[in-house]
Amino acid sequence: MSNQQNIEFIDVTKLNLDKSNPRLPAKFRKSVPSRSDIVNWMLNDASIIELMLAIGQSGFFIGEALLVVEEKKDEFIVIEGNRRLTSTILLNEPELAELHKKKIEQVLTETSERPNKIPCIIFSSRDEITKYLGYRHVTGVKSWGILPKARYLSELREDLAHLPFIKQCRELAKSIGSRSDHVRKLLVAYQVYEAIEDEGFFQIKDLDETSLYFNYYADSLSRDNIRNFINIDMKSEDPASELDIDNLKELTQWFFEKNEQNKSRVIGDSKHLSMLDKVLSNKEATEYFQTGTGSILDAYQLVSVTADSFNQEVEMSLSGLKRAQNIIHKVEQHHDTVKTKLKEIFTLAKNMNAIVVSLEEDSWDD
């Protein structure tokens, strides 16, 4: 940002919220939202009320000047500072609010400042602000969430369309002070997200842009078998060109469809993604998980049996049998099937013991 640019005070009515703000939901960027639409969406951010209170009590701090571009004569788009502008708009036009009305009323009663002119720095184009915003919001101290970051990088990438994908990632990484592999992962994950969005979030109940965890997909791209499952080739010039929509739907269902206990089958944290990656490396475990309703842990245990996990299963069975033994004398009449089940337990125990013993014996020499 140039040191030669001066701060100017511009009337609030001449400042427009940025309809291309990467933080806005896709429905806004694909339509023509009104000032009121954007203000009310921004109100979902709890910090707007806090900003209203701060500005309403102390006025608008000149050190937080908005970065703007002149859209037409005496009319400006705010590229940086949309939250502060929203807060100031609501201080002057509280009737625009469709939610948090009581909180806004309380702010108005506790404050007296109603700034109608805001300090701004005018730039000749949006591109002039790009690098500054890239560092500030993608890697800097005022970082956006991961989805807005990815969306922003995707928009910047359009200006580098003449370059190969790997070079695009390198250039973007340099402009925001990040690593090219991280930029590549975010860009590809955003392509995956766009495919989900185009499919209407696969009609999964309550799933939309606000409830989808974008990091589940970004983190999944670091797992070979999950990546292969949805057919992503990170080394390709177009990694998502052969994206498997059917498998992406299945993956998304595992992440976000809820069962009767209101739980999804896979949580997108490191532990569960590691288990899912292991399951998808094995055909039997994959088929088990795809065709059943069991947990990812059940499927994982099919391909990750260890001495510890086997011992844990034996201990659990033993504990159950001990509990049964402790109450057996209190039962006046047993079910007809009890003898059959006890006999099966006895047979299973004998067979498993024989296997364990045989594994401990020395193998024959050739």
CA gap 351, 357 in Å, rounded: 10
The CA–CA distances, whole Å, from 152 to 65, 83, 134, 301 equal 22, 17, 8, 40
Residue type, 269: D
Residue 135 is predicted with a pLDDT of: 57
* Spatial contact of 112 and 56, defined as CB atoms under 8 Å apart: yes
CA gap 36, 11 in Å, rounded: 18
Structural domain 7-125, CATH architecture: Alpha-Beta Complex (3.90)
CA gap 251, 241 in Å, rounded: 18
Residue 1 has pLDDT above 50, yes or no: no
Residue 128 has pLDDT above 70, yes or no: yes
Residue 241 has pLDDT above 90, yes or no: yes
CA gap 164, 143 in Å, rounded: 27
C-alpha atoms less than 13 angstroms from C-alpha of 334 in its C-beta half-sphere: 13
* Spatial contact of 251 and 195, defined as CB atoms under 8 Å apart: no
Over residues 11-32, the mean pLDDT reads: 85
Question: Angle 220-223-229 (CA atoms, 0-180°, nearest 5)?
Answer: 80
Backbone torsions φ then ψ of 51, nearest 5 degrees: -65, -40
Q: What is the pLDDT of residues 169-187, one digit of tens each?
A: 999 888 777 889 999 999 9
Per-residue pLDDT band at 20 (split at 50, 70, 90): confident
Per-residue pLDDT band at 3 (split at 50, 70, 90): very low
Mean pLDDT of the chain: 88
Residue 25 has pLDDT above 50, yes or no: yes
Domain ranges within the chain, ordered by starting residue? 7-125, 146-301
Q: What is the pLDDT of residues 78-107, one digit of tens each?
A: 998 999 999 999 999 999 999 999 999 999
Provide DSSP, 196-264. HHHTGGGG-TT-STTTS-HHHHHHHTTSHHHHHHTT--TTSSSTTTT--HHHHHHHHHHHH---TTS--
Over residues 205-230, the mean pLDDT reads: 94
* Spatial contact of 289 and 279, defined as CB atoms under 8 Å apart: yes
Find all residues with CB under 8 Å of 354, minimum gap 6, and list them. none
Q: How many CB atoms lie within 10 A of CB 326?
A: 9
Query: pTM above the 0.75 mark?
Result: no
Residue 364 is predicted with a pLDDT of: 46
When mean pLDDT is compared over 53-57, 130-134, 356-360, the highest value belongs to 53-57
CA gap 92, 14 in Å, rounded: 14
Residue type, 123: F
Question: Angle 208-229-304 (CA atoms, 0-180°, nearest 5)?
Answer: 110
Q: What is the pLDDT of residues 291-343, one digit of tens each?
A: 887 789 888 888 876 676 678 788 889 999 999 999 999 998 999 899 999 99
Residue 252 is predicted with a pLDDT of: 97
* Spatial contact of 72 and 21, defined as CB atoms under 8 Å apart: no
